[in-house]
Amino acid sequence: MRKGIQATPSKGYRIIAVDDEEGIVDSLSIFLKRSGYDFVGITDPLEAIERVKNEHFDLMILDFIMSPIHGDKVVEEIRKFNKDLYILLLTGHKDLAPPLETIRRLDIQGYCEKSNKFDQLLLLIESGIKSISQMNEIKAINQELTGMYDKLEKAYLESIQTLRFAVEAKDAYTRGHSDRVSEYSVLIGEYLNLTEEDIKTLRIGGLFHDIGKIGIPDSILLKETKLDDDEYSQIKNHPSIGAHILCNAEIFQEIIPIVKHHHEKYDGTGYPSKLAGADIPFLARIAAVADTFDAMTSKRTYRDALPLDVVKSEIKRCSGTQFDPEIAKAFLEILDKQYDKILEIQKKYN
């Protein structure tokens, strides 16, 4: 049984849609204004660039195949003067979507196929608005902290807790999970004799690694049955959403690599950036082991927690493919030599 979807506030957010088909723009205008958004529709992509340059918009819905320039060129120009605009790309067909490398390079937050129904697009817009709302809150926090260096540490920890509680309110599983990932990451960092600064980053990054789930629709996040391919694709957006939420606050810069890259795999098959080996930030490689260990040893609605011997075998099997082999080796040694500490963490946060 699914839990209800909470409505996303739309008042005050400005959306600009760019499509050289006037009928699409008119349909979006009716649909989004009816949903409560302040909407501007434009058919000329060059005019759209100038409007974004001179006016504030929170989110852009952008067609890919247009004349005189395609959507990727529009984004390329906009990113020269605006790094914050949340952009959703529309494609006539999946085969006509720009290369994944282009989407990453231009920081396009999502895309979907055009359809007569706007249900999927509305879900993406709602996710984007949630992300923008959180990003704006962090900007405000960052401005308030300017010149208050003596209170920075306290404000930093309080702001983390505030956002963390927002995620936990959506997904009860995240509560204990994030605590345990934080503690396991610190345990690995200490075993590897990392600096106090790195240990602190691991602790906070672990608590915060799933913050991007606040931008995932509740209908997907709280679904009790298996996700379909499209839903799983949206879940995979949470590291990028989390990094986007945090990107404008200087105080969060150290933990962003953990937030964004804790689902990368050592062999380059992970997400969101398909980084491999040493290209994956070192602390994110540690968090990846801690995150997977907790997932395997936690009870889910569809399975019990896996036995320790099975978990250890799986970590060994994935060493060098999913996990950094040195970190996997260190964690296996922790499981052999310091398992009492693991049990203490599980008792504390279960």
- Assigned token pair, 321: 């493919």
Residue bearing tokens 């807790």:
161
The per-residue DSSP string of 62-88 comes to EESS-SSS-HHHHHHHHTTT-S--EEE
Q: Say which amino acid occupies 339.
A: Y
Beta carbons of 119 and 228 less than 8 angstroms apart = no
Q: Which helix (H) or strand (E) holds 341?
A: helix 339-349
**Cβ count within 10 A of residue 89:** 23
* Eight-state DSSP code of residue 263: T
Mention every residue, 6+ apart, whose C-beta is less than 8 A from residue 252: 138, 246
Catalytic residue from among 170, 213, 260, 265: 213
CA 290 centroid distance within chain: 18
CA distance 111 to 90: 6
Q: Is residue 213 annotated as part of the catalytic site, yes or no? A: yes
CA distance 279 to 152: 31
**Cβ count within 10 A of residue 88:** 20
**Cβ count within 10 A of residue 293:** 24
CA distance 59 to 129: 8
Query: Of all residues in the chain, what percent are helix, strand and coil, respectively (each to 5)?
Result: 60, 10, 30
Phi, psi of 17 (to 5 degrees): -115, 135
Catalytic machinery residues: 213
